[in-house]
Structure 1
Amino acid sequence: MTETKTVLITGTSSGIGLATAVAAARAGWRVLATMRDTAKAGPLLAAAAAAGVRDAIEVRALEVTDPASVQACLAGLDRLDALVNNAGAGHLGTLEQESVAAVRAVLEVNFFGVLNVTRAALPLLRAAGGRLIAVTSVGGVVGQPFNEAYCAAKFAVEGYFESLAPVAASVGVSVSVVEPGAVGSEFVANVGFTEDLVEQAGPYAPALVNYLARTRDAFANAQTPEQAAAPIVELLAAERPAFRIQTSDAARAFTAAKLSDADGARVQALTAGWIA
């Protein structure tokens, strides 16, 4: 019999994180499902029970921006085979209309939060020969209007992980980034697509109205969280996980406008050669 492997997933109270936790448990993983407020675990636990995998999921509190919370979450773990950095927060705004402090707060959650968890988990992943995954976004490849801060954070994660990947591989840890496009989840609602945004946009209001109309159309044809989670769970079991994957044909087409090296293999071969 093979030993059950353990994956820690951040941001599992809803959306892609919740769906990934349930799907990973169904695939035979022991899942450490983390979230800032464990009082919000009800939907996850209900979905796990409905799927018959409640016993495979352990909920833990984790605030990714707080190193003490990260250490407390990982305390007592003697093995970790995979980490899925999924926790994040959307943000709409443009520089003239918001403070640099607001931009910094977006990076704190979406970039530095990923680094906090990854840094703490790497010794365990290294010992297990495990894998490290970050859920980024097509916004980590293509900059998008009124998403300057969010895209900056996702670009930063992609750049950091692309640079880390050959280094981590040298000690037995595979690194991948997952790029969803539009996904229908609470994440979108939490961004705050409200009329107040337009009222506060000043001279940028006409452009913002057009952007919001386009975005509503895109999310009308969004993937479900379960569809976006499926490639993540496939990565957990892949014999040779790609560095970069998109979760839908639409996401692949969108990123292809910028990426000719669609799965990251060419860049990885190049930079791995630099340290071999």
Structure 2
Amino acid sequence: MSSTPRTVLITGTSSGIGLAAAVAAARAGWRTVATLRDTTRADALRKAASEAGVDLDIRRLDVTDEASVSAAVDGVIADHGRLDAVVNNAGAGHLGTLENDSVEDIRKVMEVNFFGVLNVSKAALPHLRATGGRLITVTSVGGVIGQPFNEAYCAAKFAVEGYLESLAPVARTLGVSVSVVEPGAVATEFVNNIGVDIDADIDAGPYSGALRRYIDRTVEQFLDGTAQTAASAAESVMEALLADRPAFRIQTTDWARTFVGTKLADLDGSAVQGLTTTWVS
């Protein structure tokens, strides 16, 4: 049996779940390739690794650029000789609604959150087949339940979950395990990167009142202790990485399990609509 350390590549590691997962994987003995679009933003990652006493292989990878993805994956194979797991974590939030968003805005959300996952997964699969590896993707409870003013984001996450749910049995025939990890609210920089200044006056035309109510509810969720830490969410990523037979769908908290369960038991859609309508009215 080879003594070569198992190698995992993780995207979107500049902060949040990706950073925490990279440190946790390295602690667990994995050779961890921590990637991010802009390596000048790796200071927090390097500090966390130093404090944890672990080494990370930090590389550039832009999930929306196929050449960047190929270069990163090829570099891992050239330098480490194998790839045993991929964690698709890179993503971008977006608040908006159809009448106000441009189609180009929506395409950009899909490019990062959906096509970015496909770019990385496609490049990695031949190498994961060689090692009987694992393809893990951080999605969201928003990949199961559509949420007001998250139309483009949820559409992208729905697409990821549908694609991977369909791919999973196919990949399994060749020894590759596919899992999705579904966090709810996570106290990370993600909420600060959604493109809305919550302290400024919101001008969403006829939707302004509903958007303000949605934002107030969401901010309260992040301030009242409901949101879990990035390190806690990363524990579920590690479950997918380390379990003998990881589940396809893994929620990161009891709240997320209950929330997702609402949708999975909601045959006519009334339960979800009844719930999410209260967020904006």
How does the TM-score come out when normalised to structure 1?
0.91
- The percent of aligned pairs where both chains have the same amino acid is 67
- 1:267 maps to none
Q: Does 1:83 align with 2:82?
A: no
* Residue segments in structure 2 that go unaligned for 5+ positions in a row: 267-281
| Amino acid in the other structure paired with 1:184 | A
Alignment map for 1:44-123 (pairs within 5 Å): 44-53=45-54, 55=55, 57-76=56-75, 77=77, 78-123=81-126
Contact 1:14 1:186 in 2 (8 A): yes
Q: Corresponding residue for 1:241? A: 246
The aligned runs of 1:202-221 (5 Å cut-off) are 202-220=205-223, 221=225
Given that residues 198 and 205 in structure 1 are in contact (C-alpha distance below 8 angstroms), is that contact kept between their aligned partners in structure 2?
Answer: no
What is the match of residue 160 of structure 1?
Answer: 163
* Structure 1 pair 216–237 and aligned structure 2 pair: CA distance change class (3 A): same
Could you tell me whether the CA contact under 8 Å between 2:88 and 2:138 is conserved in 1? yes
Alignment match, 1:178: 181
Cα distance in 1 for partners of 2:214, 2:200 equals 12
Q: TM-score, normalised by structure 2?
A: 0.89
CA contact (8 A) 1:7 1:80 kept: yes
Distance in 2, matches of 1:97 and 1:260, equals: 32
Asked if the contact 2:198–2:215 (Cα under 8 Å) also holds between the matched residues in 1, the reply is no
> What secondary structure does 1:95 align onto?
coil
> Could you tell me which residue of structure 2 aligns to residue 18 of structure 1?
19
> How do 1:190-201 and structure 2 match up within 5 A?
190-195=193-198, 199-201=202-204
Deviation at 1:183, TM superposition (A): 0.3
1:100-133 Cα offsets, whole Å, 9 max, x none, are: 1110110000000000000000000000000000
Cα deviation code 1:175-194 (max 9, x no counterpart): 00000000001111111342
Q: Which whole-Å CA distance do the structure 2 matches of 1:197 and 1:136 have between them?
A: 29
> For 1:161 and 1:217, how far apart are their aligned partners in 2?
32
CA distance in 2, matches of 1:143, 1:43: 32
Q: Which runs of 4+ in 1 moved over 4 A?
A: 195-198
Distance in 2 between the 1:128 and 1:239 partners? 15
